[in-house]
Structure 1
């Protein structure tokens, strides 16, 4: 998957999430998605390649990096809490969408309850069915 496709899949998922908004607080070379003012997703370019940077639980982050060569520590971010998705490998659209959703939910979980646009414990569940990402 090339960098443009990687970013487009992540962007489409972010746009579907309640109260998510696209911003450019760091300048035109960085697209940032926030929920209630807190960043959960960043798009930029490194060495001519489009990348996606998102929040991840530290335990998941380590496992993901071990399982996928295209997932590395967060570019210019806290390496324990952020990961970078890089183009060119075997990341599939389903995993990308799931990681964007998880990043969003990690941020929502940290918001005061009164400001949360969704309940992070039940978001995406269908009655009688599995969670949807």
Structure 2
């Protein structure tokens, strides 16, 4: 995957919006106004932050050293920075993105989920 394919995949998910609240070098993807992915545009290599269940976050860091690390400029307990290396499959990256999307969507209050367009 590259930055454009990550963006496209995020925008394929229902009710996702994007914006640039931190400047032109970071695209933020939200569901119900809450961030589920931050995509860095100021690096040559792909790099993005995703929210993650704390136990799973630790497991992914251990299983994928050099690819998954504690979230840069984020709460290290709940966020991972993903920097895919050659050989990292698109399917696993999409799985991590969907986990983040689902985690944030499911954390929205019931009324907010019901109000999503």
Q: Does TM, scored on the shorter chain, surpass 0.5? A: yes
Residue 81 of structure 2 aligns to a residue whose secondary structure is strand
Return the match for 1:53 from 49, 74, 93.
49
Relative to structure 1, is the Cα distance of residues 10 and 28 closer, same or farther in structure 2, using a 3 angstrom cutoff? same
- Distance in 2 separating the partners of 1:84 and 1:25: 19
- Return 5+ residue gaps in structure 1 as ranges: 118-133
| Structure 2 residue aligned with 1:72 | 69
Return the match for 2:109 from 103, 109, 112.
112
CA RMSD of aligned residues (A): 1.7
Relative to structure 1, is the Cα distance of residues 47 and 94 closer, same or farther in structure 2, using a 3 angstrom cutoff? closer
Q: Report the TM-score, using the length of structure 2 for normalisation.
A: 0.87
Relative to structure 1, is the Cα distance of residues 89 and 59 closer, same or farther in structure 2, using a 3 angstrom cutoff? farther
Residue 97 of structure 1 aligns to a residue whose secondary structure is helix
Is 1:87 aligned to 2:84, yes or no? yes
C-alpha deviation, 1:11, in angstroms:
1.8
- Distance in 2 separating the partners of 1:46 and 1:62: 26
Is 1:11 aligned to 2:7, yes or no? yes
C-alpha deviation, 1:51, in angstroms:
0.6
- Bigger Cα displacement from structure 2, 6-15 vs 53-62: 6-15
- Distance in 2 separating the partners of 1:38 and 1:49: 26
The answer on whether the counterparts of 1:9 and 1:97 sit within 8 Å (CA) in structure 2 is no
| Structure 1 residue aligned with 2:30 | 34
- Distance in 1 separating the partners of 2:39 and 2:111: 29
C-alpha deviation, 1:90, in angstroms:
3.2
